[in-house]
Every structure is written in structure tokens, then in C-alpha cells.
Structure 1
């Protein structure tokens, strides 16, 4: 089952949902701001994405600039920051089996359908 980690307030995320709807494939929407991933789930996403925690962080978010910018943080601390402040997680993330992409640009999603 395809899964999209979605923020309805984000236009790129809404575009990602539209791409999945147009694909005709079944998929699950995870509103990750309401249902924050568990630590192991976030680590698995990072593995599937082949990204470091820092690469998945939205560094332009106000919370990042106010609380974390300029600090030396370990990968574990970065993961904990994303779990404490899920707005920091880049979006949307689409998972299809053992593949995952960040839908920025949204067309990236088509590469794993």
C-alpha cells in the first residue's frame, strides 16, 4: 500500500495527493502533524529516502530558526527535534513498498508509482 505523509495546508503536499489520486492506485494518507510518526518509523523513512536527518529538516521553519539553527546536533537530536516539532519534517513523503521520495517537486512521486 502506498502511503503519503501529508500536511493539508501545504500546496506541494496537496499536489502529491492529487498525483496519487490520478494514478488510480490505492493509498493511505497520514496527516503527520496530527499523528506524529514514532521514532523507529521516522528512522525507517530516513533509510528508505536515503537521507540524513538534516536533509529532511525544513530549515526555513520559524521553530528551527528560533530553537535549533547554528547548534551542533547529532542525528538522534535532529530526529528528536522532528518528533517534537513535526512541522520540521519535509513534506510530502510518499512510500511505495521499499521506495520513498520527498514530493518536492511533486513530480518525484511519479518515479515510485
Structure 2
């Protein structure tokens, strides 16, 4: 009777892939472009909300209440004053990056 070759079992090895990393804070390409506009500005930066894109998630008003307010009729966001007040630039960047509908933009 012929002997069958023995099967050698290898122990499971760890995956060589690196573990999934959490997303970086500060956003991607869009965040860099907004930061560049704010850094290189010669005149005050203006912020705008596209009323057709806004769905009323209210994130911008929670992040920068001095810049954005919610309309009582439909709950969509609107800008209090187009020009970003001094000291509010970082909040505006965060609001632009956090808008899920990408309805907020800056104008230089």
C-alpha cells in the first residue's frame, strides 16, 4: 500500500498590510485651497452659501454661528455678512469642509 504524502499545515501569518488609518484632520485638496485663499488674501475673504445645494444639515451654523444663521422658513443656512470677520477664518474653513452638500464656498 502506497503512503500518501503528509500535508504540512502552516500557521496563520499576520497580514503584511498596515492597519487602516483614520482620515487626516484638516481635509484634503479642498481644505488646502481654502487655507491658501485665507493665507494669501490681500482683501477680506467673502463666504457664500448656495441655497439650491443647501439641505439644512446645520453644521455650518453650529461651527461658526457668528458667520452663518438658519432661515426660519426652511432651516437652510444663509450668511450673516459676506465678509469673514477677523478671527473667524478657521471656523469658516471648518464649516466649508464639514458641509456634506458642498454648498459653502469662499470668494477671494
Report if TM-score (shorter chain) is over 0.5: no
Q: What's the TM-score, normalizing by structure 2?
A: 0.33
Higher relative contact order (CA 8 A, sep 6+): 1
Q: What's the TM-score, normalizing by structure 1?
A: 0.31
Task: Give the structure with higher Rg (CA).
Answer: 2
